[in-house]
Amino acid sequence: MRYAIDKSAYCDAAIIEERRLPARSYFVAFPDRASAGAVTPERRRYDSPLVRCLSGEWDFRFYPRPAELPDVLDTDAVTWDRVAVPGCWQFQGYDHPFYVDERYQFPFDPPRVPREEPMGPVFSLIGEGGQGAHVAHPKDEYNFVGVYRRLFDLSEREATAGHVITFLGVASCLDLYLNGERVGYSEGSHNTAEFDLSPYQRAGQNELLAVVRRWCTGSYLECQDMFRNNGIFRDVLLREVTPCGIWDVKVRTWREERASRVRYRLRADVTLAGGGEVRATLRGHDLERASETSAGNGRATLAFDELDVLEWTAETPNLYGLYLETGTECVLLRVGFREARVDGRRFLVNGRPVKLHGVNHHDTSPTAGYTMTPAEIERDVRLCKEHNIDTIRTSHYPPDPLLLELCDELGVYVIDEADLETHGALVGKFPARQNRLTDDARWRPRYLDRAERLFERDKLHPCVIMWSLGNEAGGGCNADAMYELIRSRSDLPVHYEGAIHSLRRAYDVGSEMYATVERVRSVGEGSSTTRRLNDRPYLLCEYAHAMGVGPGGIEDYWEQIYSYDALMGGCVWEMVDHAVLHPDGSYTYGGDHGEWEHDGNFCVDGLFYPDRTPSTGARIVRHCYRPLRVRHVGGDWFRLFNATGFTPGDAFTLRFEWSDGGVAEVVPDVDPLRHATVLVQPTSHEASDEGAGLRRNRVRLVTVITTRRATGEEVAREQFALSGLEPLGETGLARVARFPEGCEVTGDGLVLPGSMRPAATPVLLSRAATDNDRYLDGRCPMERLYDCRREVVSTVSGEGSAEVVTRLVYPHHRFLCTTSYEAVRAGVLVTTRLHCERGRGDLPRFGVCYRLDDLWDDVEYLGRNGESYRDMCEQAQIERVRCHVADMTEPNIRPQESGNRMDCQYVTLSNGERSVQLTAVDRPFELAVKAYSDEGLRAMRHREDEVRTGTYVTIQAFQMGIGTGSCGPATRPEYRFSCKDDHTLRYLVSWEHM
Ligand code: GAL
């Protein structure tokens, strides 16, 4: 079949769509009530006899040179490949994955996008690795075209009915054809595009052709920080339009509270394809109400009032079924009764203040880009629930509608965001101007189009508690127009962080990203220098950048959030790492695919690894977002805080377990967002592992395990030290006359019989930089303390004692390091003192590293049972842990410092025959055990680089905290250590044959 291909709509600034149907609610129609009620949300769009999902294998032809796409395409003459729809062509062997954050992939020259010519030079004010303004000359970059073809049959009966085709996501735009004729055009990648196929369809075989381009005018509004993918990346649905078909539904509910009695009113406005009777039945939780009316002009309104219902919240996701039936169809809407509104400085759900424990969520898969299967979407929502996350901001576009259905069902609040970001407008031209497009009225229709399609598609979901106008597009008249449009149709508050960059500053709620704790506090107090933030609620729409190890310091934000009514909470950036998984199991990130510009591993910044394995970040967040918080106030007294909005304290059980075996269980009585103080004493005793000799536990601890009473599910574990570290018994430390056989003190340090010796760099003051140690301004404070020249100043040895003084010389610092070794009954007591002779600033760490060969693989330690640093340690509890060396570091996609263990009392390494133990003397130490040296680690870029070269044990007086400096405030002062202070590390080394 031959097609005259349209080659102008995609690059015509005056065209946003051609013959695209007006935006409407997403739902799935069924022939009758029984079939509508019988499916799960995951199956809904696939199981209706009225809807055919066209996803599957489609014919595909990729045109790397757009000029080669014929003006008249003869589909019979094309050699077709086959690809999966939905899919992204960069993940299917065409072009390659391309990751860039804030820049366009093409020259910034709005509204022009590259057409058939090779893409010319690209100017940018920023570049990789701190490179400033520059011009790049990319090669072989074109506005690639992918042509998709799908054949489908219609029976004689079907061909007499109308059909609407629904594309849930196509990047960047879609020219649609059927049976040789042009159907229409649409752009707006993450917005639904629907067309009426009726005029072009026929009985028998139909040929559908979709021409998809890499970029269109709309791409100027899609400069989000993500892999820039293309293709038909969400499901394609073919819906039969029945004579009394339901076209659109708007459901509104009103909450009426009188004398603490809550009643709701509900109104459903139904738009029909034809006329006829409409019946509405509202069912659920012992309620059944029905109403019927006939639709004049294809419109019907059905209303229920005085509804005594269970309200919907993320904590209580009570849903009702609203069945809308016509002569030919039934649509089941899952309705939730909830109200979200702003009251002065407070954000209220159902009249009560809530705190949003949020994350930012992208639709992302390591094997399919933007495409996620229903099971993967469900897994993400469930992961949120399992990690005490109650809010998702759909950064930075409307998600697959299934995500919203599942958030309704499972209980997650959603801040639903428009598909909009123009970050590259800031850096694509001199002078840098944030509002270049957002304040340019010529772009208004496109902005409004995106606002309208966001609202209209998602207006039925109780989980949506706020609309968001987009991300990082600056402020201006077009954002204002979006706001007006949405507020003219919806009662929900509107959020938009970008407003902060305009005179307007904020819409219904104030919002910022990566603000410091001090700034957040000032907003909470109402004393912010940005005055518009002082009279409304405030959201951290992004905070705690979860790139690499971290995020550190997140608890400090929550201390503020729980202290001030105006602070609504925040959404961690972001839920999942973006990276590409290859068949050999390796992962790649920006720059690994031949991108001519990229932002490296800035896309690897999630709480979960790409395969959704939780990283330490997920554990930190789960801990910080726990619904019930416990604090030890002294003696047997504990202070409880109920961090929920609606769940009474007695929904939980607290089990207290003291380290000596004492146990108590408490069902707390504390209302949402209230405190209570309780006295808790052990009521019974159980056997406990306190250890013996040098391995005994020397700190009195109490661990509190919080479980949900209804399900038994554990939601949090907290621990409190009730004493300091009990000193090592004097007997073990009694001096003896000489060092044991085979033990030797050298200028480098202590050498033990059986392979333990100082590592090549025995004293470590720096660390292999974490992503959070590399600040956005290009600085890395670690760098200054990497290159060390060690000079032995003096060595003195006596009877059973020795002292070695070395000088550590760095480019900007000089330290004197004095280590004394004393032979004692239990082994050798080592004391290392560090004194700064020159330099200033912070010390990333102070530790001593020993190397053993890689047969020493068994590790036992008593300390925090997982990765922990000074500003991110509460998620891990002090326990006796037995594991292997490989378990002591984290599988970061880009290797970096990881796996620190805080509050360690001892560590034992063994090779099956012998063991060596390092024991804290007067203060717990921090522990690192790695399969490679820190110098080696510095050079590693991918997981495969982590090749084992031995067993490296580092015990440290301290490591500085992690912070979120990769995109946000760096480590706070209270988690830093000045190099001006003298520091001491003291430990006992002992060993034995097993
Ligand atoms: C924000 C932006 C996000 C992401 C993040 C850094 O400024 O809104 O999309 O780029 O920074 O990872």
The answer to whether residue 542 is catalytic is: yes
Domain ranges of the chain: 2-241, 249-328, 377-624, 628-721, 730-993
Given a cut of 90, is residue 335 above it in pLDDT?
yes
Q: Please tell me the distance between residue 225's alpha carbon and the centre of ligand 1 in angstroms.
A: 6
Ligand 1 in reach of 472 Cβ (< 6 A) = yes
Is residue 472 flagged as an active site residue? yes
- State how far the Cα of 628 lies from the Cα of 116, in Å rounded to an integer: 59
Q: Whose CA is nearest to atom 3 of ligand 1?
A: 225
Q: Which atom of ligand 1 is nearest to the CA of 497?
A: 8
Position 128 confidence tier, pLDDT thresholds 50, 70, 90? confident
From the CB of 771, is ligand 1 less than 6 Å away? no
- Whether 573 is in the pocket of ligand 1, judged by its Cβ within 6 Å, is yes
Q: Is 313 in the pocket of ligand 1 (CB under 6 A)?
A: no
CA dihedral 516, 517, 523, 525 (to 10 degrees): -150
Is the C-beta atom of 513 inside 6 A of ligand 1?
yes
Any atom of ligand 1 within 6 Å of the Cβ of 225: yes
Question: What superfamily in CATH does domain 249-328 come from?
Answer: Immunoglobulins (2.60.40.10)
pLDDT (tens digit, 9 = 90+) per residue, 67-91?
A: 999 999 999 999 999 999 999 999 9
Q: Using pLDDT thresholds of 50, 70 and 90, give the confidence band for residue 731.
A: low
CB 389 within 8 A of CB 359: yes
Residue closest by Cα to atom 10 of ligand 1: 225
Whole-Å CA distances, 171 to 86, 90, 108, 232, 708: 11, 12, 19, 7, 43
Q: Whose CA is nearest to atom 2 of ligand 1?
A: 225
Q: Which atom of ligand 1 is nearest to the CA of 395?
A: 9
Who wins on pLDDT, 510 or 730? 510
Residue 141 pLDDT exceeds 70:
yes
* % the chain with pLDDT above 70: 100
pLDDT tens-digit readout, 892-927:
999 999 999 999 999 999 999 999 999 999 999 999
The radius of gyration of the chain from alpha carbons, rounded to an integer in Å, stands at 31
CA-nearest residue for atom 6, ligand 1, is: 967
Hey, do 249-328 and 628-721 end up sharing a CATH topology, with the first three levels equal? yes
What is the model's pLDDT at position 129? 76
Q: What pLDDT score does 483 carry? A: 98
Asked if the model's pLDDT at residue 486 lies above 90, the reply is yes
542 lines ligand 1 (CB under 6 A): yes
Calculate the average pLDDT of the chain: 96
- Among 472, 574, 718, 822, which one carries the catalytic annotation? 472
Question: Superfamily assignment of 377-624 in CATH?
Answer: Glycosidases (3.20.20.80)
pLDDT greater than 90 at residue 782: no
What are the Cα distances from residue 10, in Å, to 13, 115, 220? 8, 9, 12
pLDDT above 80 (res 970): yes
How is domain 2-241 classified at the CATH fold level?
A: Jelly Rolls (2.60.120)
CA 870 to chain centre: 22
CB 467 within 8 A of CB 453: no
Question: pLDDT tens, 1-24?
Answer: 999 999 999 999 999 999 999 999
CATH class of the 628-721 domain in this structure:
mainly beta
**Omega cis (within 30) before 574:** yes
- pLDDT tens digits for range 442-470: 999 999 999 999 999 999 999 999 999 99
Alpha carbons 838 and 808: distance in angstroms, whole number: 10
Average pLDDT over residues 49-54: 98
Check: CB of residue 802 under 8 Å from CB of residue 796.
yes
User: Taking 70 as the threshold, does the pLDDT of residue 422 lie above it?
Assistant: yes
Specify the pTM: 0.97
Ligand 1: which atom is nearest the Cα of residue 574?
Answer: 12
Supply the CATH classification number for the domain 730-993: 2.70.98.10
- For residue 605 and ligand 1, the question of a CB distance below 6 A is answered with yes
User: Does the pLDDT of residue 283 top 80, yes or no?
Assistant: yes
Q: Tell me the range of 130-134, 257-261, 516-520, 731-735 where mean pLDDT is highest.
A: 516-520
Query: Atom 11 in ligand 1: which residue has the minimum CA distance?
Result: 967
Q: For residues 127 and 715, which has the higher predicted lDDT (pLDDT)? A: 715
